Amino acid sequence: MAAKTKYIFVTGGVTSSLGKGIIAASLAKLLQAQGYRATIQKLDPYINVDPGTLNPYEHGECYVTDDGAETDLDLGHYERFLDTPTSQSNNVTTGRIYQSVINRERRGEFLGKTVQVIPHITDEIKRRIQILGQSGEYDVVITEIGGTVGDIESLPYIEAVRQLKWDLGENNALVIHLTLIPFLSAAAELKTKPTQHSVKTLMESGVQADILVCRTEHELPEDLRRKLALFCNVREEAVIQAIDASTIYDVPNLMLEQGLDTVVLKRLKLKSSTPDLTQWNAFLDRHKNPKSEVNIGLIGKYVELQDSYKSIIESFIHAGAANEVRVNIESIHSEHINPKEVAMRLSHLDGVLVAPGFGERGIEGKIEAVKYVREHNIPFLGICLGMQMAVIEFARNVLGLQNANSTEMDENTPHPVIDLMESQKNVTDKGGTMRLGSWSCDLQPGSKIAQVYATNHINERHRHRFEFNNAYKENFESSGLKATGINAETGLVEVVELPEHPFFIGVQYHPEYKSTVASPHPLFVEFVKSAHHYSKISNNASMSYQK
Ligand code: GLN
C-alpha cells in the first residue's frame, strides 16, 4: 500500500505579504529534491469564486492553469519552482466553497438539516484540502492559507486545519506559521512580541504551530530563538529564520541552511537525505553571473504594480539565465507612448514586449510602440492583447485599413481585424467564461515560431475572448504578416509573425505561464537571444558612428 499522504499547513501572522507562497514553494522544492512527490495548494479566504474577475490593482496577475482555472499568482511560483503543473484543485476560495455547499443545499442533499459554517463549510474545506492527497499522486501536500491569522474570514480555514490535524494524527500533519520579527531601529532591536501574539491567536483557535518561519531583515541571535521557542511552544530547532533574499530563487537554499526540510521530515517521520539541487544551483549561478545585459521594454498599463506581470518578469529571469545575460526590464506605461515621444521612449531598447490586457485604456500607445519596433527592426514579442495590437497596427499602417480595430475597443470599427470569438457571442457572465486553459496549436513548418519551439505541435494556455478575424487572413498574409500557428479544430489564429523582421512574433496564448526554472520557455529564450544579438549590432553601429 502506498504510504499515506502527509499534510503541511502554512499560516501567516503579523502582516500579509510575508511570502508564504515562496516559503511553501521553497519547502516543496527541498522535498522534491529528496525524491518526494510534493504539491502545493492555496486557500484564499475571499468571496470571489476565483480571481479571474479581479482587477490587477486588487490582486496582481491572474495565473491560468492547464485545466483552465483562473488562479492566484502563487500557483505560478509553485509551477516555476517545482516544474510540475497545477490545476483547479490547487486553488480554492471561500466563494467556491460556499458555492458548492449552497448548490448541494439547493439539491436537497442536506436532508432538511440547518446548513452551518461548522460542520458544513469546514467539511467542504477539509474535502478540498484532501482531494490532492487522495489522488495518490503526492507524498506531501502543502496547503497555504491566505490572509493572516485573526482575520474574520480565515476562521473557518483555521478551524478546518484544527480538525484535520486531529483527524490525520500526530505524524501526518503539521503547521508552519510564517511570521515577522520587526527591527526597531530606534531601539536597534529585533522584536518578538508580535510573533508571540500571533502564535497565541492561532492557539485560541486550538492550533499549535509546530514550526515558526520568521521573516527578518537581520540575523536572529541564538537567545532570541530560544525566547521564541520558549514563548511559542516550539522546539528551538523549529525556529527558522527567513532573512530577506536578493532573489526569491535563493530561498530554497536559505531554508536548507536553516534545516527547514529536516525539521519537517523529522516531524512527519519521513526519511531525510541531502536534496539534489544541482540543476537549481546551476540556474542560480547563471542568473547571478551574467556575461552581458539587454534592455527590454515591457509595455502595459499596470506597470506601476509589481505583481501584475509576475509570470512575464519571471520568464525573463529564466530566459536571461539560459542566455547568460541580465535582462533589465524597463516598464513603460502604454499611456505615455505617443507618436511624438515614441522614439525617445523606445529607441535605446533591445527588445519590446507588449503585454496582455483588457479594455481600451492605453491601446493607442501599444499600437504606436508596435509600429516603431516593426519599422526599426527591434525584436518584438506580443502576448495576447499584445498580439492583437500587432495585428491592428499592421492593418492600419501597412494594409491601409483606416480605423481598423478590435471590436473590444470599438464595436463599430469599419475593419474588425480582431473580433469576438463565435463561441463568446452568447456569453453574458463574466466569471470563468473566457477561452481558458491549454489548447493545441499547429505551427507552420519552417516558420520562425516552429524554429523557436523546434517542433510543429505545441500546447499553450489561453485567456481571451477576442481573436484574429480570419476574413482578413489572406490580406494580411499577402502583405507579409503570416499566420503561422493555428488551432486545428477551430481554425483560430494563435501566432502571427513577420518573416522579414529579425524577430517579430505575436501569440494569442500566454507562454509566460509555462516558463519554469527547470524549463525556461523557448519563446522567451529566443526573444532574449534575439534582443542580445540586436544589442550587439546596435552597439557596434553606434561605436562606428562615434568614430
Ligand atoms: N482583451 C483581449 C481578449 O479578451 C486580450 C486578453 C488578454 O490579453 N489576456 O481577447
pLDDT tens by residue, 472-526: 999 999 999 999 999 999 999 999 999 999 999 999 999 999 999 999 999 999 9
Residue 54 region, left (φ>0) first, then alpha (ψ -120 to 50), else beta?
beta
CA dihedral 256, 257, 258, 263 (to 10 degrees): 40
> Ligand 1 centre and the CA of 487: distance in Å?
17
Q: What is the largest CA-CA distance in the chain?
A: 88
pLDDT at 425: 86
> Ligand 1 centre and the CA of 71: distance in Å?
16
| For ligand 1, mutation pick of 334, 463, 507 (most atoms within 8 Å of CB) | 463
Residue 355, Cβ density class (10 Å: 0-12 exposed, 13-18 middle, ≥19 buried): buried
| For ligand 1, mutation pick of 418, 419, 466 (most atoms within 8 Å of CB) | 466
Q: Which whole number is the average pLDDT over 371-391?
A: 97
Residue 543 has pLDDT above 80, yes or no: no
- Kindly list the catalytic residues: 384, 510, 512
The backbone torsions φ and ψ at residue 484, rounded to the nearest 5 degrees and listed phi first, read -110, 5
3-state DSSP call for residue 274?
coil
> Ligand 1 centre and the CA of 341: distance in Å?
26
Using the atom order of ligand 1, give the atom closest to the CA of residue 383: 8
Per-residue pLDDT reduced to its tens digit, 7-49: 999 999 988 889 999 999 999 999 999 999 999 999 999 999 9
The backbone torsions φ and ψ at residue 132, rounded to the nearest 5 degrees and listed phi first, read -65, -40
> Ligand 1 centre and the CA of 361: distance in Å?
13
- How many CA atoms within 13 Å lie on the side-chain side of 166? 9
> Ligand 1 centre and the CA of 325: distance in Å?
30
What angle do helix axes 522-546 and 310-323 make, rounded to 10 degrees?
A: 70
Closest C-alpha to ligand 1, atom 3: 464
Using the atom order of ligand 1, give the atom closest to the CA of residue 356: 8
| Nine-digit cell string for 29 | 522544492
Percent share of the chain, pLDDT over 70: 98
pLDDT at 3: 66
Which of 96-110, 205-219, 419-433 has the least mean pLDDT? 419-433
Task: Name 146's Cβ contacts closer than 8 Å, sequence gap at least 6.
Answer: 20, 42, 43, 44, 45, 46, 72, 154
* C-beta separation of 222 from 202 below 8 A: no
Per-residue pLDDT reduced to its tens digit, 243-295: 999 999 999 999 999 999 999 999 999 999 999 999 999 999 999 999 999 99
pLDDT at 54: 85
| For ligand 1, mutation pick of 61, 64, 358, 405 (most atoms within 8 Å of CB) | 358
Residue 540 has pLDDT above 80, yes or no: no
Which residues does ligand 1 sit against, CB inside 6 Å?
356-358, 384-385, 408, 463-466
Three-state secondary structure string covering 514-535: HCCCCCCCHHHHHHHHHHHHHH
1 — pLDDT class (breaks 50, 70, 90): very low
Q: Which whole number is the average pLDDT over 201-206?
A: 95
Residue 144 has pLDDT above 80, yes or no: yes
Using the atom order of ligand 1, give the atom closest to the CA of residue 466: 10
> Ligand 1 centre and the CA of 294: distance in Å?
28
pLDDT at 294: 97
Average pLDDT, the chain: 94
Q: Which whole number is the average pLDDT over 440-447?
A: 97
Residue whose C-alpha is closest to residue 78's, from 10, 128, 150: 10
| For ligand 1, mutation pick of 465, 467, 492, 512 (most atoms within 8 Å of CB) | 465
Q: How far apart are CA 397 and CA 432, in angstroms?
A: 35
224 — pLDDT class (breaks 50, 70, 90): very high
Q: How far apart are CA 140 and CA 160, in angstroms?
A: 18
Residue 390 has pLDDT above 70, yes or no: yes
Closest C-alpha to ligand 1, atom 1: 358
> Ligand 1 centre and the CA of 462: distance in Å?
9
Closest C-alpha to ligand 1, atom 6: 464
3-state DSSP call for residue 67?
coil
> Ligand 1 centre and the CA of 180: distance in Å?
38
Using the atom order of ligand 1, give the atom closest to the CA of residue 467: 10
Per-residue pLDDT reduced to its tens digit, 328-349: 999 999 999 999 999 999 999 9
pLDDT at 547: 42
Task: Name 532's Cβ contacts closer than 8 Å, sequence gap at least 6.
Answer: 292, 294, 323, 325, 350
pTM of structure:
0.94
Residue 461 has pLDDT above 60, yes or no: yes
Using the atom order of ligand 1, give the atom closest to the CA of residue 384: 8
CA distances from 255 to 22, 25, 78, 241, 448 (A): 11, 11, 16, 8, 42
> Ligand 1 centre and the CA of 413: distance in Å?
18
Residue whose C-alpha is closest to residue 503's, from 448, 428, 445, 447: 448
| For ligand 1, mutation pick of 464, 512, 513 (most atoms within 8 Å of CB) | 464
Using the atom order of ligand 1, give the atom closest to the CA of residue 434: 4
Residue found by looking up cell 539541487 in the block: 277
Using the atom order of ligand 1, give the atom closest to the CA of residue 357: 8
